[in-house]
C-alpha cells in the first residue's frame, strides 16, 4: 500500500528468482492472450462450462464420443447459436427482438418453397436470408421511425410473422425438402471426415462463421461502437453525432438476417420448412444472451459470451438427455441457471459499485 523507502534499502536488492515463478510466468504468457480473447468478464462462463462438463463426464462415457460431440451437441447448438449472435447486437443496444423465432419460421418456409421450386440450394439459402432481412427491416422501421418500444414492436411482429409463415406455406402445411439432398446437406452434412473421424458438421462451421462476423462487427467497426454507445446512453450517443435511426435499422436487419439463416438451417436439419419452425427459440436466444453477460440495461455484452452461454445451455440439455433426465427437469434447470447467473452478476455489481441505496433505503 504505502511505500516505505527506508525499509527497502536494507532489504535484499534482488530476491532470487525461483524456478516456480518463471514457470508461472511462462504459463501466464500463454494464458494471457487466450484470456484477452475470451475477455475477463467471460471467465466465469468458462468455469461454469468446465464444471458442467466435468460433472457430465463423470456420469456418462457417451458424452465425449465423437458422435455425440459433433452430431447431437454440435448440430443442436448451431441453430440456436446463429440466432443468439444476432440477438446479442440488439440486446447490447438496449433493445430486444422477440420475433426471431417467427422470422426463422418464415425463412424456413420461404427457403423450402424456393428449393422445391428451383432445385437450387443456393437460391433457397438466399431466399431464406432475404426473408429474414425483410422482416428485420420491418422491425427496425417500427422501432426507428415509428418510435415504438422494442418490446411492444417485436411482440407485435412475433405474432404477425408467425401468421405470415402460415400464409406463405401452401394451405399452411409444411413444405418437405427431404428430396433435396443439396439443401439438407446444410443441416446434416459434414466435411473433412474419414479414417474414424466423423467429420465437422457444416452447420457448426456456419455458426463459427456467423459468430466471427458478429464478433468483428461489434468489436472492430464503427457500427459496433455505435451499438455499445446506444445501449449505454442513447442521449449521449445521439449528442455525439451518431445517427441512431441508422444504427437501429442496421441492428434489426442483422438480427433478422441471422434469424433467417437459422430458419434455413433448421429447415434443412428437420428436412421440412414448417411454419411452426422456431417456436420458442426466441426465448432460448434471449436466455443465452443474458446468460452470456449482456446487461439488461444495454451497453454491455459480447458475442464470445453469448456463444459460451449457448454452449453451456447445449451441454446441459445434451448431458441431461444422455442421463435420461425428463425434458421438464431440463426446462427447470435452464430457467434456474439463467436466474442464478444474472442474480450473481447483479450481486457482484452491487457490491463493487458503491451501493448507493440512499433514496431507496429511506423510502
Partner 1 sequence: MSPPASTEPPATPVPSPSLGLEIRGVSKAFPNVQALSDVSLEARSGEILAFLGENGAGKSTLLKVINGDYQPDIGTLTLDGQPLRFANPLDAHRAGIRVIYQEPEIIPGVDVAENICVGELPGRGGFVDRRLLETRVRADLDRYGFSAALPMGLMGDMLSPAQRQLVEIMRAIKSNVRVLALDEPTSSLTDDEVQRLFALVRRLRDEGVAIIYVSHRIREILQLADRVAILRDGRLIAVRPAADLTEEEIVRLMVGRDLTAMFQRRRAVTDRVVLRAEHIASNWHHDVSFYVRAGEVVGFAGLVGAGRTELAKVVFGELPRDSGSVFVDGRLVSIRRPSDAVTEGIGYAPEDRKREGLILMRSVLENASLAVLQRLSRFHFIQRRMERRLAGEYIERLRVRTPSLEQEVGKLSGGNQQKVVLARWLAAKPKVLILDEPTRGIDVGAKAEIYHLIDDLANQGLGVMFISSDLPEILGLSDRIYVMQNGRISGELPGPGATEEQVLALAMVDHLSRADPVPKSTAPEEGLAG
Nearer to partner 1, 10 or 353 (CB): 353
Of 243 and 340, CB closest to partner 1: 243
Cell of 108: 424456413
User: How far apart are CB 126 and partner 1 at their closest, in Å?
Assistant: 23
- Which has the closest alpha carbon to 292: 269, 308, 315, 279? 308
Report the relative pairing of strands 190-191 and 200-201 from DSSP bridges: antiparallel
CB of 241: closest distance to partner 1 in angstroms?
Answer: 3
Q: What is the DSSP letter of 197?
A: B
CB of 252 to partner 1, least distance (A): 17
**Residue closest to 111 by CA, chosen among 306, 237, 317, 275:** 275
Q: Least distance in Å: CB of 289 to partner 1?
A: 17
Q: Which stretch binds partner 1 (CB under 8 A): 8-16, 175-183, 268-276, 352-360?
A: 352-360
Q: Does 1 bind partner 1 (CB under 8 A)?
A: yes
Does residue 351 belong to the site contacting partner 1 (CB under 8 A)? no
CB of 211 to partner 1, least distance (A): 18
Among 220, 327, 331, 332, binds partner 1 (CB under 8 A): 220
For partner 1, the binding residue among 36, 61, 351, 354 (CB under 8 A) is: 354
Q: In whole angstroms, how close is the CB of 181 to partner 1 at the nearest point?
A: 38
Does 226 help bind partner 1 (rule: CB under 8 A)? Answer: yes
- Contacts of residue 81, Cβ cutoff 8 Å, sequence gap at least 6: 207, 210, 211, 288, 307, 310
Nearer to partner 1, 53 or 342 (CB): 342
SS3 353: coil
Element (H, E) at 130: helix 121-144
Q: Which stretch binds partner 1 (CB under 8 A): 16-24, 53-61, 164-172, 355-363?
A: 355-363
| Measured distance CA(100)–CA(102) in Å, rounded | 5
User: Quick one: 154 or 226, whose CB is closer to partner 1?
Assistant: 226
The distance of closest approach from Cβ of residue 244 to partner 1 in the complex, given in angstroms and rounded to an integer, is: 8
Closest among 54, 137, 61, 56 to 103, alpha carbons compared? 137
CA atoms lying within 13 Å on the CB side of residue 41:
15
Task: Name the residue with cell 445434451.
Answer: 318
Question: Is residue 117 within 8 Å of 276, Cβ to Cβ?
Answer: no
By three-state DSSP, how is residue 299 classified? Answer: coil
Binding-site member from 120, 166, 225, 325 for partner 1 (CB under 8 A): 225
| Closer Cβ to partner 1, 66 or 221, answer by number | 221
Judged by beta carbon, residue 123 or residue 238, the one nearer partner 1 is 238
How long a stretch of residues is the chain? 363
Which residues ranging from 141 to 170 are in contact with partner 1 (CB under 8 A)?
A: 147
- Which H or E run contains 9? helix 5-10
Among candidate residues 232, 211, 229, 227, the one with its CA nearest the CA of residue 304: 211
Residues 279-318 that bind partner 1 (CB under 8 A): 295, 299-300
Site string for partner 1, 231-250 (x = CB under 8 A): -xxxxxxxxxxxxxx-----
How far apart are the C-alpha atoms of 238 and 250, rounded to whole Å? 16
The contacts found for 190-195 with CB under 8 angstroms, 24 or more apart, are 190/70
Determine the size of the site formed for partner 1 (CB under 8 A): 37
Q: Which is nearer to partner 1, 171 or 235 (CB)?
A: 235
Residue choice 63, 183, 228, 252 for contact with partner 1 (CB under 8 A):
228
Residue 229, interface with partner 1 (CB under 8 A)? yes
Binding site for partner 1 (CB under 8 A): 1-2, 147, 220-223, 225-226, 228-229, 232-245, 295, 299-300, 354-359, 361-363
Amino acid at each position: 500500500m504505502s511505500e516505505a523507502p527506508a525499509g527497502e534499502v536494507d532489504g535484499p536488492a534482488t530476491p532470487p528468482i525461483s524456478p516456480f515463478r518463471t514457470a508461472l510466468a511462462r504459463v501466464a504468457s500463454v494464458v494471457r492472450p487466450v484470456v484477452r480473447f475470451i475477455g475477463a468478464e467471460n471467465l466465469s462462463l468458462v468455469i461454469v462450462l468446465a464444471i458442467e462438463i466435468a460433472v457430465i463426464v463423470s456420469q456418462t462415457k457417451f458424452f465425449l464420443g465423437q458422435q455425440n460431440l459433433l452430431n447431437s451437441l454440435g448440430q443442436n447448438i448451431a441453430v440456436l447459436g446463429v440466432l443468439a449472435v444476432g440477438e446479442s447486437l440488439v440486446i447490447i443496444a438496449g433493445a430486444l427482438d422477440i420475433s426471431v423465432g417467427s422470422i426463422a419460421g418464415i425463412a424456413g418456409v420461404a427457403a423450402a418453397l424456393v428449393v422445391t421450386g428451383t432445385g437450387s440450394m443456393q437460391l433457397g439459402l438466399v431466399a431464406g436470408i432475404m426473408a429474414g432481412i425483410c422482416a428485420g427491416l420491418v422491425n427496425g422501421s417500427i422501432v426507428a421511425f415509428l418510435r415504438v418500444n422494442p418490446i411492444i414492436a417485436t411482440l407485435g411482429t412475433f405474432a404477425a410473422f408467425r401468421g405470415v409463415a402460415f400464409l406463405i406455406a401452401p394451405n399452411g402445411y409444411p413444405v418437405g425438402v427431404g428430396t433435396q439432398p443439396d439443401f439438407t446437406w446444410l443441416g446434416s452434412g459434414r466435411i473433412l471426415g474419414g479414417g474414424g473421424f466423423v467429420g465437422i458438421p457444416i452447420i457448426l462451421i456456419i455458426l463459427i462463421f456467423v459468430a466471427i462476423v458478429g464478433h468483428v462487427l461489434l468489436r472492430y467497426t464503427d457500427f459496433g461502437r455505435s451499438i455499445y454507445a446506444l445501449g449505454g446512453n442513447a442521449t449521449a450517443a445521439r449528442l455525439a453525432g451518431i445517427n441512431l435511426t441508422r444504427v437501429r435499422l442496421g441492428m434489426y436487419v442483422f438480427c433478422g438476417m441471422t434469424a433467417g439463416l437459422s430458419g434455413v438451417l433448421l429447415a434443412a436439419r428437420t428436412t421440412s420448412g414448417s411454419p411452426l419452425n422456431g417456436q420458442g427459440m426466441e426465448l432460448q436466444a434471449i436466455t443465452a444472451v443474458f446468460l452470456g453477460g449482456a446487461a439488461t440495461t444495454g451497453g454491455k455484452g459480447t458475442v464470445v459470451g453469448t456463444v459460451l452461454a449457448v454452449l453451456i445451455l447445449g451441454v446441459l440439455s445434451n448431458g441431461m438427455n444422455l442421463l435420461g433426465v425428463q425434458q421438464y427437469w431440463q426446462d427447470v434447470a435452464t430457467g434456474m441457471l439463467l436466474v442464478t447467473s444474472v442474480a450473481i452478476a447483479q450481486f457482484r455489481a452491487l457490491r463493487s459499485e458503491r451501493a448507493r441505496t440512499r433514496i431507496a433505503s429511506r423510502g
